[in-house]
Structure 1
Amino acid sequence: MLASRRPTTSSTWQFVILIVVVMFTGLSQGLLLPLLTIFLERMGVPSDVNGLNATALYVGVFGMMFLVERILIKVGYKRMLLGGMIVVTVALGLFPLFPSIGVWFVLRIIVGMGDSALHYATQLWAVSVSPANRRGRNISLYGMAYGVGFSFGPLGINLLKISDAAPFIAIVCMFLVVIMIVWWKLPSQQADAVHGAERPEKRYRRSYQWAWFALLPPLLYGYMEASMNSNFPIYALRIGLEQHWISYLLPFFGIGGLILQLPLGMLSDRVNRKAVLISCGLLGGGGFFLIPLVGDNPWAILVLFMLVGGLVGSFFSLGLAYAADILPRAYLPSSNVIASIHFSIGSIVGPNLGGLGIEYVSIGSMFYLLGMWYILFSLLGFRFRGKIRETAS
């Protein structure tokens, strides 16, 4: 058979392919969010309805997380990854064909579900092929790949000069190429950590019991990312910054995360992952408190954004790596489900809580809240034992 003649792909190359997948996933999300906002603005849709339409993506991600573990058990890594990519590709291709806010709301939910499935499969697969002494580095590379893709995604807006459909056609073609690579090069294998009778009972409760501290960083990361993207433009305009500074400053928060993500991951491999998380939380939290103090000085904000973004931009990946250190292998799929649900909850709560604070407490309250959450997280870390299970890999 044709499949039997395919060359065996080493674990290193499997990881590289997974990195490519998540980079293109970030690229599609980084393009889709501003692109649809532009189209809806052209259609005369009110800004509040425009924002509500964007939350459909997180609704899809959140809802799918309750199904992904069972799907993975039935179909395995490769089929789940391919299924998620195909769903996203088809949905992206349908956007320019049905320019309707109602249809786009549904399509965004579908994209969120597909993204949720492929992220879950790639995260867990990346952890499973990474040796313990390089787990932090590899998961940091995973996070960097998504960040790079997300950052470069908006550049696809320039394709609108060709036609409104051009950005969608470009990203669909890219996904088709990656789908072929995954289908041809990645091996078909079951998620052995959760297959059949090996699935432990009370795995979600025990995951919380043993690794609750390691599962908090995805919640903080989702809260921070969504709050910064949604609330900082309001903050900047109210303190008197010119509009163009908003587009210049926000990327530097992500750039700081990209610069320090790999060094922090490698440091956590060599020293203590819990200590790295606590230190970054304390320093990053303090940095958030400093941002309102520099007022409307854009250069000071830029420097603080890079420093704070570098410190807390690795929280999601470091949390996953720390959970993988603590939990037995059979609990990793459940912990990834919890991490993704936490990220979704944080993404929904962050903008709303930050907006309420700006409106009814003070202009700088969004940063005070962020600083308080990260410092509180670090203080909780001193109470967490983090004993590694004997059966963990």
Structure 2
Amino acid sequence: MRAVALPEDAVPDWAAIAIVIVGVTAFAVAQGLTYPLIAMLFDSRGLSSSLAGLNAACYAAGLAVSTLMLGRLMSLLRGDWLIVAALLGVSFALSTFALFDSLSVWFVARFVLGCSVGIIFTVSEAWLNSACPDRLRGRVSGIYGASLCAGFAAGPLAIPFLGTENGFAFALTAVYVALVAFASALLGRFSRSKPVASAPGGIVAFIRLAPVLALMVLVFGFADIAAISTMPVYLLQRGYSQSFVAFVATMVALPTALTQPLVGWLLDTVSRPVVALMATLVCALAFLVLPLIGSEIALLLTVSVLGAGCFSLYTCALTLLGERFSGGLLVAGSAAYSLVYALGSGLGSGATGWILDLSLTAWPLAMGAILMLFAMVFAVTLRRPAIVEGRGE
């Protein structure tokens, strides 16, 4: 049998894919560690919850600023080196948490952390799609999503082993991220592709071209924050123990990571919009049946399905982004995803808490109804448009 040579654009850039997956896992570990650890340290020092929330807002502000300035940053520094610089920024911020106790310094460090994470997240996703041929896009996106979930889960799990005092957890994670930055710089020498910068106005142009994809990420952000933030409160108010609720949180993350490669395979095998629609319906139905479930085992299974279905929305959105856009609009689309996710999670954290205060049963029913509404909107757009060769004009 004679081997058939694949065209250049059908051959994966494995070096670039490795850089993206290793780098995004490192940022996920750092974010998974800092969120609970900083909250615990604030509480142990007797600082108010509002002050802790303001500190977290600095992270969000940094994320937004770096996303909006991405076009300018990529005009100054090549995309692969920008990822390395951002990883070093994460390491610097974590080192600052380890070395200083000043609250004002921590606010600045949290802003720097947000800026660095925003760059890694946005440029990495664009590079992943440009480095991956369409025939493998779903599976690679699934591995990316699994690595992201695993990193988020690993961060909090490290706290009992590393402790909360003396800044050791921050310092060790800073060293780990710095080593990943060094490895990324070495791997970058073997990559064939590079992230392409988008022109000013690229984010607005992308949203105009792909409002349904933006809506998908908005709904994902809304549902995701409900699953990881509001769900524990809902279960505690239903009378479940704190230990069981903590176990439920693990059952949201673990099956989500394990199922993303399967979702990626489906995205490469059947219609991608149909997979996205099915993920939305699965997540919606899981929310809707929550008030009917009393058994702890049934609840764990339902929450596992909910978490997997919810994150699958993002895996689908990432795959569809690479399928439908190229050039600078890949970067613009990734930046738009970051901003829209932040908007969705912000709306979700406020609205879901308000609904839960009104009625215990209304919260899961409202979430299910919102997801069902989106499924109806997405169902009427089931078509495969031509690839947009975009540079962000």
**TM-score strictly above 0.5:** yes
Paired with 1:144 and 1:210, the residues of 2 have a C-alpha distance of 28
Q: Contact between 1:95 and 1:107, CA under 8 Å: does it hold in 2?
A: yes
1:160 CA drift (Å): 4.3
Counterpart residue identity of residue 373, structure 2? L
Q: Evaluate the alpha carbon distance shift between residue 80 and residue 63 of structure 1 in structure 2; reply closer, same or farther with a 3 A threshold.
A: same
The equivalences for 1:196-345 within 5 A come to: 199=199, 203-295=202-294, 297-345=295-343
The match for 1:347 is 345
The match for 1:366 is 363
The match for 2:381 is 384
Q: Evaluate the alpha carbon distance shift between residue 293 and residue 316 of structure 1 in structure 2; reply closer, same or farther with a 3 A threshold.
A: same
Paired with 1:162 and 1:204, the residues of 2 have a C-alpha distance of 39
Deviations 1:68-112 (A, max 9, x none): 133123312222101211111111101132224333222212101
The equivalences for 1:1-393 within 5 A come to: 11-161=13-163, 163-187=165-189, 191=194, 193-194=196-197, 199=199, 203-295=202-294, 297-359=295-357, 361-384=358-381, 386-392=383-389
Counterpart residue identity of residue 355, structure 1? G
1:265 CA drift (Å): 1.3
1:333 CA drift (Å): 1.4
Q: Contact between 2:37 and 2:164, CA under 8 Å: does it hold in 1?
A: no
Paired with 1:335 and 1:138, the residues of 2 have a C-alpha distance of 18
Paired with 2:165 and 2:204, the residues of 1 have a C-alpha distance of 51
1:163 CA drift (Å): 4.7
Structure 1 portions without partners, runs of 5+: 1-9
Q: Contact between 1:256 and 1:313, CA under 8 Å: does it hold in 2?
A: no
Q: Secondary structure of the equivalent of 2:212?
A: coil
1:55 CA drift (Å): 3.2
Paired with 2:133 and 2:38, the residues of 1 have a C-alpha distance of 40
Q: Contact between 1:218 and 1:316, CA under 8 Å: does it hold in 2?
A: yes
Paired with 1:328 and 1:121, the residues of 2 have a C-alpha distance of 13
Paired with 1:202 and 1:96, the residues of 2 have a C-alpha distance of 38
Q: Contact between 2:84 and 2:182, CA under 8 Å: does it hold in 1?
A: no
Q: Evaluate the alpha carbon distance shift between residue 330 and residue 177 of structure 1 in structure 2; reply closer, same or farther with a 3 A threshold.
A: closer
1:192 CA drift (Å): 6.2
1:309 CA drift (Å): 1.5
Paired with 1:179 and 1:108, the residues of 2 have a C-alpha distance of 19
Q: Which stretch of the first structure deviates more once superposed, 53-62 or 155-164?
A: 155-164
Paired with 1:369 and 1:162, the residues of 2 have a C-alpha distance of 37
Q: Which stretch of the first structure deviates more once superposed, 303-312 or 363-372?
A: 363-372
1:369 CA drift (Å): 2.7
Deviations 1:335-385 (A, max 9, x none): 1111111111112111111111111x2113332232122211111112225
Q: Evaluate the alpha carbon distance shift between residue 229 and residue 312 of structure 1 in structure 2; reply closer, same or farther with a 3 A threshold.
A: closer
The match for 1:3 is none
TM-score, normalization by structure 2: 0.89
Q: Contact between 1:216 and 1:319, CA under 8 Å: does it hold in 2?
A: no
Q: Contact between 1:93 and 1:168, CA under 8 Å: does it hold in 2?
A: yes
The match for 2:9 is none
Paired with 2:225 and 2:74, the residues of 1 have a C-alpha distance of 28
TM-score, normalization by structure 1: 0.89
Counterpart residue identity of residue 378, structure 1? A
Q: Contact between 2:37 and 2:159, CA under 8 Å: does it hold in 1?
A: yes
Structure 2 portions without partners, runs of 5+: 1-11
1:386 CA drift (Å): 4.0
1:171 CA drift (Å): 0.6
Counterpart residue identity of residue 363, structure 1? L
Q: Evaluate the alpha carbon distance shift between residue 153 and residue 130 of structure 1 in structure 2; reply closer, same or farther with a 3 A threshold.
A: same
Paired with 1:47 and 1:231, the residues of 2 have a C-alpha distance of 16
Paired with 1:383 and 1:69, the residues of 2 have a C-alpha distance of 33
Q: Evaluate the alpha carbon distance shift between residue 155 and residue 52 of structure 1 in structure 2; reply closer, same or farther with a 3 A threshold.
A: same
Paired with 1:160 and 1:192, the residues of 2 have a C-alpha distance of 36
Q: Evaluate the alpha carbon distance shift between residue 78 and residue 206 of structure 1 in structure 2; reply closer, same or farther with a 3 A threshold.
A: closer
Paired with 1:298 and 1:100, the residues of 2 have a C-alpha distance of 44
The percent of aligned pairs where both chains have the same amino acid is 22
Matched residue pairs, number?
378
